[in-house]
Structure 1
């Protein structure tokens, strides 16, 4: 099991049981819950299901017990993820609009000690308009964790989280939230806002660029950094509007290369390549120089992945040398497949050149 999986273990469950017993909830099912050798998401589900057995059957009684437990400062951390899921389950099962709204208030309370970004997804799915109305009000909350929940919980592609299809179909519905928070005093909140807009770029690239253009028309000292982070994927993909907003101008380039040092790269080794980029225009050009590595997939097709190299201004007639490498050492985030791969250079979003190489079995040492 990974370190994240251990965030909810027997000790955390025991602590949660003790805290619930203090407020009159007998944690019988919780005490019998076993999460060893389970992934974190499954651990959350196991504990949530046990809580739904132990907590009072009605929403209001459950919410009262959770609020009472919150009086103890030890009621905090990862144990709150399954607690928040249980609260949402009770609220949705009630069918009551009042309970729905109250559950959002409970999430705002719990998020001050652990983010409610995962539990709120079912609220969004069940009542998008109402949840977004409340989340928009949260953008003015004095607690930075609540303001962040407004942005993070409503991301269209939040990692680890349950999908909310309507956020993907209607990417503009969260714009009031990010527009209210891009100048937030907290970097924690601003970073969430940038990631939120980067998610939007997957669904509606032009909308994401338009949002950032609006920010840059009304900037504060942090806005350029927030804008760069929000547009990072669009810049890699060569979106014209994003490139212009980030000041990457110029399309008159001569690119020699890329050239790979070796056309056979052993699994576990590095592919090294070089190139030269010359500004053939008459004006200085601010450039984003990246490279595209086309990885071979299990079925044999090639799939591109863009990697950043450098950003710099290139004077007319100036040549910039590129010399870098990529490692094929084993990693948990990517599986490598033997066979032909390819590399392209990308300058201000436009691909140049193409070099191929074969990823081969590593020779066994004698």
Structure 2
């Protein structure tokens, strides 16, 4: 059985943090820090452990970032590899997950001194990521924070450039929601524009994820950006745009699909059938169909299928799954057979009754068939 994720925070790490902090700041109460940080540790999950370590830092370090910031920096180990992992247990200094509570400490005690705090976070993010800790600074002073992000976007360090994008994602998972950027992402777009051709895939992937966040509330805006960015685009930028548009592609958002070169298909859809019109939970839905390119020209195609699951109120809600992306050659005939297991999962409650399978090509429905799910 794999090690629980929460065990990235453990007692040896706390003891190592305590020893390094004491070396950097002889007045540091190492015993108090270890006692506070490790209290009832086994019963805490990952974020709870991180927060408890942060609180122990607040209780034992000077409460001004001008003093505590340099102390934290003295404890740091080597920089993390670019997109190649974060934990470096053999490092004599601190890196990896140890940085998370340290960055949160900076956000808690340094909010009234962003200049020094940003300097400290810049060093911390090179060893893990300060993407969560920078968000309170955006909320407190958006204009000032985004000026700093613009500077980070020009950094020679890829970790810092990535922070400029990742830190201002409107809907960063597990991060504070940046509602102002949900409503108006213009300040974020100014940062992404600077980073869209970054030499590191690590940074470009963050740009794509940021745009994907924006797309969830501003789909037409992202479709326009995709169209603009694809003009004269390199292969790297093309991959970025496609990844940024993944949610809109699955939703069949027509302006986005058109920006990516996917038009309505000139094709014949036939022989669509399900192997059985009754499927038991835990078994497979098997379906098949044929698509024939009726054109003398090749046609780009994104082929998906949607299963319309019954909800508690008896209505159906679609969940889209990928089938195939490619190009139909002139008069090509594509025969598809797919097996989809419908098995219990923790993120969905299944209800018995009439469901539906639908085939989608370039965002357009080609046809649907009903089936009964038996529980």
2:307 counterpart (293, 304, 320) = 293
How is 1:101-250 mapped onto 2 (pairs within 5 angstroms)? Answer: 101-250=115-264
The gaps in structure 1 that reach 5 residues or longer are: 362-366
Distance 1:339 1:3, change over 3 A: farther
Pick the aligned partner of 1:77 from 89, 96, 102: 96
Query: Relative to structure 2, which stretch is displaced further, 162-171 or 249-258?
Result: 249-258
Question: Aligned to 1:48, which of 47, 54, 70?
Answer: 54
TM-score w.r.t. the length of structure 1 is 0.89
Decide whether the 8 Å contact of 2:249 with 2:363 is kept in 1.
Answer: yes
Aligned pairs (5 A) from 1:211-360: 211-256=225-270, 258-280=272-294, 283-315=297-329, 317-360=331-374
Gap regions ≥5 residues in structure 2: 79-91
Q: Match for residue 364 of structure 1?
A: none
CA contact (8 A) 1:140 1:147 kept: yes
What do residues 178-205 of structure 1 show as CA deviations (whole Å, max 9, x unaligned)? 1111211111111111111111111111
State the Cα deviation string for residues 225-275 of structure 1 (Å, max 9, x = none): 112111122122222222122221234343336422122222222211112
Q: Please state how far the C-alpha of 1:356 moved relative to its aligned partner.
A: 2.3
Paired residue for 2:35?
31
In structure 2, distance between residues paired with 1:131 and 1:21: 32
- In structure 1, C-alpha distance between the alignment counterparts of 2:14 and 2:347, rounded to whole Å: 30
Counterpart of 2:88? none
How far has the Cα of 1:337 moved from its partner? 4.1
Cross-structure match for 1:10: 11
How far apart are residue 280 of structure 1 and its match? 4.3
Contact 1:338 1:360 in 2 (8 A): yes
Instruction: Could you list the structure 1 runs, at least 4 aligned residues long, displaced by more than 6 angstroms after superposition.
Output: none
Q: How many residues align?
A: 356
CA RMSD, Structure 1 to Structure 2 (Å): 2.2
What SS does the aligned partner of 2:216 have? helix
Task: Check conservation: 1:147, 1:189, Cα contact below 8 A.
Answer: yes
CA contact (8 A) 1:257 1:354 kept: no
When structure 1 is superposed on structure 2, of 67-76 and 106-115 the one drifting more is: 67-76
Distance 1:341 1:17, change over 3 A: farther
Distance (whole Å) between structure 2 residues aligned to residue 319 and residue 144 of structure 1: 46
Alignment match, 2:63: 57
Deviations 1:129-188 (A, max 9, x none): 211111111111111100111111111111121211112111222112111112111111
Change (3 A) 1:259 1:182: same
CA contact (8 A) 1:13 1:31 kept: no
Distance 2:77 2:326 in 1: 54
Instruction: Give the Cα–Cα distance (whole angstroms) in 2 for the partners of residues 121 and 196 of structure 1.
Output: 14
2:74 to 68, 90, 105: 68
**Given that residues 169 and 178 in structure 2 are in contact (C-alpha distance below 8 angstroms), is that contact kept between their aligned partners in structure 1?**
no
After superposition, give the CA deviation of every residue in 1:76-103 in whole Å (9 maximum; x if it has no partner): 11011011101111112xx3xxx11221
